[in-house]
Structure 1
Amino acid sequence: MQDTEVITIQRIEASSSCMQKLSFGLGHVYNDLCAAVWFSYTLFYFHIVLQLESATAGILIMLGQVSDAVVTPIIGWAVDKTGNLKLWHVAGTTAVGVGFSLIFSVNSNDDSWWSLLWYGALIILFQIGWATVQISHLSIIPSISRDHTHSADLTTIRYAASVCCGITVYLITWIVLKTNHEPDKVGPNDFYKFREIALILTSIGVLCSALFYCGLHTVNHNYEDLSKNNPLNERSNLLKTSIIYQVSLLYMASRLFTTLNLIYTPLFLEERQTADVANSDIRQAIAIVPLVTFLSSFFTSIILKCRSQQVTDKLIYIIGSILSLTACAWIAIGMHYDLTYQIYGIATLTGIGSSSTMISSLCITADVAKTHKLGGSVYSIVTFTDKLISGGIVLITQHLSPKSIDLSPNFYAHVLAYVCGGTAITGLITVAILYCQR
């Protein structure tokens, strides 16, 4: 009788654990849906659909990244101070819903101060909400994980959900933008289609967030060890360690590589229209090529879920960085040739490299967060570097972008080849330093 009760309890615990993991995976879905649109299409949307100046579009993207970076450390401290992760998650989701929906629902494209203030305010609201959801959700990992394996499982599930969100975005974009009676070139007349995409994604995101709140029990930080000390002193001690800066560089490199590819792939495809994609459908290409990237990322995340314990996070990061560099080299070598079909091979390598480096860097970060018992602070410090630098690079790139494609026909190809390649090299050097310090 006792054995039967033990087995029943074990089954209940296993079922509860699976439900917890599934619910956790849904908690960042709305953020990931918005991020896929934000990084893949927002610059394209501002510049091509709303017809804003290239520099203006770059400033708006930079404003979002800077506001995100500035509030991230504050949110991290507040999360560690209060500990109510689900409450912060609700507040962030609300801000994301309002900001993201209105950015794509109101057309103000006259480049006036009013237009800049309107979009600027919405972007700041959206980015503050996004950062709040991100920090609170990441902080759940060290709060509920029992060991490194459990932490790695949660991280992989989170990334797999993110990849599924990207796939969903590109499928919806392809369906909505694909028409037979309009010209291939996307322009101002497609504003209402981007609004439709945003509203569909918001509906999906809000539903997933509701399921997350229902399925995951109340999650709070355990502050027993911190109650005796000043949290500011604990954070100060964390900043004195070298590992936090190494992990920040590691995450920044992986995230920046992914972000820049998301942002500039549609513009790269638009650029290639004058070369080897002249006879193809750009409406399909700007959805299908990123979709290939996300599909390869998804399958990579499944494979990494089944890896043996001998395959360390650092080794995975090294392999992912090498594959990322290979994709960049492929673009650098082939930019003067026909890339109509090769682009799908490049997209596949990009997806595998991005998935490998992102999952491994998050696993390494989770270990640091669990060790120092400052999840919010660790994740805010790690993501601060990524958001600030990515915004700066986008601003500089848009400032340097040519007024006419004839002036620099391979400008965005150079961005994907050399700027993204530089971030992959940065990550490779950083993980090599971590290996040497074992």
Structure 2
Amino acid sequence: MSSKEKLNEIVFTVRKKLPLKIYFAYGMGHVLNDVCAAIWFSYLLVYFQLVLKFSNNQAGVLLLIGQVADAVATPFVGYHSDKDYDCFFYRFGKRKIWYFIGTICVIVTFPFIFSPCVGCRTQTATVVHMVYYSIFIIIFQFGWAAVQISHMALIPEITPRENQRTKLAAIRNGATVFASIFVYLVAWGVLRVTEGTESTISPDDIGKFRVIVWSVMCFGIVCSIIFFLNIRELKIQKNTALSEESMKKSKTMDIFKNVNLYLVGVVYMSSRLFLNLTQVFLSLYLVETLGMVASALALVPLAMYIASFIAAIPVGMITKHVGRKVTYILGAVLGIVGCIWIHWGYGDIYVTYLIFVVVALLGSGTAIVMISSLDITTDLIGTKTNSGAFIYGIMSFLDKLTNGIAIELIQYFHGSKTNINYYRDVMTYATGGAVLLGSTAVIIIKNRKSYKEENQEETDSRVIHTIT
């Protein structure tokens, strides 16, 4: 590519609107991860506890293993994704090569997690089952992390414009919600019961979970292909004025000296904890506390994600007028109201009708909070896109480790199955406390005037320097 062509590409990136094709393809890029995550968080504990008959603690340990593997993988992938290795495979792009590796890992391992243990018998020791599933879970989580980090790190590289980054984040979240809705529609179609039947989840449903997994994964694979074929990374030659000016690297120690890194880490961690605890324990709350039938495990989460999808649409416009912090607090308030309502919710009217209002509040709150937290993280990166994946890796490390420990502790202390209100209290205090912590961190974070101006000033200087 000639210098003039490089200049034209840079000026286009800085001054022009992104093509709709880029927005669409970027949104499709995380769908495979999203459908797997929806099943992982919504049905993993249900599957291992009610179908495979693992104990609460054993199911929690498997989820913890997955979260720890994910937590370790994220900074590793982030660090190496920021490097420009002189390697044949890196000609596809330093982000996209990790995206490809992660996608393959997800495809070849996730179906085995929701299938019977191959070669195992009824008398096979529990520890063998645990090791068997742990191997597939660890590889799956490494792949999931590689896709997540490389996909997130592309946002500040696709465009330097703050409003376009917000739109990409909103589209990413919208695609996540759409993917989750698709999962619950498939699950509802597979798990639904005939009218008048009081069927609940049992070991007989093992085949149904395989159908759900393969159905949604086929859709996710198609979306990943669309992303890979349409999203291009801007390849910049080393030792040029362009690389020196536009790709300023943040030294590792400088990153850790930034106080906002830790505050933003708390915001992102708390937001993900709010979302994931809601996903994980909503199904168990419906079954154990409210005694709802099997089809409700798909229908109620489906309502929550429809509300999330609707709530995600105006987030960009709201953020533009009131700012990220106020938008985050708005989402947190909706989520906290839903958590409080759960604590006082009971009776036939609540189970039949009002539960859908509650999950709509939770869904709207999680959507707004997640988009805002991703925007805040993007602000932390600013124009230092060559450290973007590493910073996202740090955020994700905190998120996954905290989620895994929290879920395992919740499962560990659930010793008595006669305590049917246990998961009600989890949905109230654990999820509500998580989003409250995130709100506190958002309030403490100081508005940096340099965030927006830094992006614009360094963007202008790149264009001017290149032209001269």
What is the TM-score normalised by the length of structure 2? 0.84
Distance in 2 separating the partners of 1:261 and 1:419: 9
Residue number in structure 2 paired with 1:391: 404
Check the 8 A contact 1:314/1:435 in 2, yes or no. Answer: no
Give, in angstroms, the shift of residue 403 of structure 1: 3.5
Residue number in structure 1 paired with 2:32: 30
Check the 8 A contact 1:53/1:111 in 2, yes or no. Answer: no
Aligned with 2:73 (options 71, 74, 83):
71
Look up the SS of the partner of 1:371 in the other structure. coil
Matched, 1:195 2:206: no
Over 3 Å counting, the alpha-carbon distance change for 1:237 and 1:271 in structure 2 is same
Aligned with 1:101 (options 111, 131, 151):
111
Check the 8 A contact 2:56/2:411 in 1, yes or no. Answer: yes
Give, in angstroms, the shift of residue 221 of structure 1: 7.7
Over 3 Å counting, the alpha-carbon distance change for 1:77 and 1:222 in structure 2 is farther
Residue number in structure 2 paired with 1:262: 279
Aligned pairs for 1:266-415 (under 5 A) are 266-274=283-291, 277=292, 282-307=293-318, 309-334=320-345, 339-340=350-351, 341-373=353-385, 374-404=387-417, 406=418, 408-415=419-426
Residue number in structure 2 paired with 1:5: none
Residue number in structure 1 paired with 2:458: none
Distance in 2 separating the partners of 1:259 and 1:337: 27
The aligned length equals 418
Unmatched 5+ stretches in structure 1: 1-9
Matched, 1:61 2:49: no
Check the 8 A contact 1:85/1:219 in 2, yes or no. Answer: no
Give, in angstroms, the shift of residue 105 of structure 1: 2.7
Over 3 Å counting, the alpha-carbon distance change for 1:222 and 1:183 in structure 2 is farther
Residue number in structure 1 paired with 2:44: 42
One-letter code aligned to 1:299 = I
Residue number in structure 1 paired with 2:192: 178
Residue number in structure 2 paired with 1:167: 181
Give, in angstroms, the shift of residue 15 of structure 1: 8.9
Distance in 1 separating the partners of 2:319 and 2:435: 25
One-letter code aligned to 2:301 = P
Check the 8 A contact 2:193/2:295 in 1, yes or no. Answer: no
Over 3 Å counting, the alpha-carbon distance change for 1:63 and 1:288 in structure 2 is same
Distance in 1 separating the partners of 2:19 and 2:47: 41
Look up the SS of the partner of 2:318 in the other structure. coil
Check the 8 A contact 1:52/1:111 in 2, yes or no. Answer: no
Distance in 1 separating the partners of 2:282 and 2:151: 28
One-letter code aligned to 2:410 = T
Check the 8 A contact 1:249/1:430 in 2, yes or no. Answer: yes
Look up the SS of the partner of 2:130 in the other structure. helix
Cα distance per residue 1:344-397 (max 9 Å; x no partner): 111010011101110011011112223333111110011111100110011111
Cα distance per residue 1:145-183 (max 9 Å; x no partner): 131011001100100000000100000000011143975
Check the 8 A contact 1:28/1:134 in 2, yes or no. Answer: yes
Residue number in structure 2 paired with 1:18: 20
Unmatched 5+ stretches in structure 2: 1-11, 85-92, 450-468
Distance in 2 separating the partners of 1:140 and 1:221: 15
- How large is the RMSD of aligned CA atoms in angstroms? 2.5
Distance in 2 separating the partners of 1:295 and 1:227: 40
Identity of aligned residues (%): 35
With 311-320 and 130-139 compared, the bigger mean Cα shift is at 311-320
Cα distance per residue 1:183-233 (max 9 Å; x no partner): 51111010011001111111111111111111112455887249999x6x7
Over 3 Å counting, the alpha-carbon distance change for 1:228 and 1:294 in structure 2 is closer
Cα distance per residue 1:107-158 (max 9 Å; x no partner): 4575522211110000000000000000000010001113101100110010
Distance in 1 separating the partners of 2:409 and 2:17: 50
Over 3 Å counting, the alpha-carbon distance change for 1:414 and 1:19 in structure 2 is same
Matched, 1:86 2:96: yes
Over 3 Å counting, the alpha-carbon distance change for 1:216 and 1:402 in structure 2 is same
Residue number in structure 1 paired with 2:457: none
Give, in angstroms, the shift of residue 300 of structure 1: 0.7
Cα distance per residue 1:395-428 (max 9 Å; x no partner): 1111111342x2x120000000001111011011
Look up the SS of the partner of 1:326 in the other structure. helix
Give, in angstroms, the shift of residue 334 of structure 1: 2.5
Check the 8 A contact 2:50/2:203 in 1, yes or no. Answer: yes
Residue number in structure 1 paired with 2:134: 120
Residue number in structure 2 paired with 1:216: 231
Check the 8 A contact 2:247/2:384 in 1, yes or no. Answer: no
Check the 8 A contact 1:253/1:427 in 2, yes or no. Answer: yes
Distance in 2 separating the partners of 1:244 and 1:22: 30
Look up the SS of the partner of 2:262 in the other structure. helix
Distance in 1 separating the partners of 2:136 and 2:154: 27
Distance in 2 separating the partners of 1:41 and 1:267: 9
Residue number in structure 2 paired with 1:236: 253
Over 3 Å counting, the alpha-carbon distance change for 1:428 and 1:289 in structure 2 is same
Over 3 Å counting, the alpha-carbon distance change for 1:228 and 1:400 in structure 2 is closer
What is the TM-score normalised by the length of structure 1? 0.90
One-letter code aligned to 2:409 = I
Over 3 Å counting, the alpha-carbon distance change for 1:310 and 1:435 in structure 2 is farther
Give, in angstroms, the shift of residue 335 of structure 1: 5.2
Distance in 2 separating the partners of 1:419 and 1:379: 24
Distance in 2 separating the partners of 1:371 and 1:243: 16
Distance in 2 separating the partners of 1:321 and 1:308: 14
Check the 8 A contact 2:319/2:327 in 1, yes or no. Answer: no
With 89-98 and 299-308 compared, the bigger mean Cα shift is at 299-308
Check the 8 A contact 1:163/1:297 in 2, yes or no. Answer: yes
Residue number in structure 2 paired with 1:155: 169
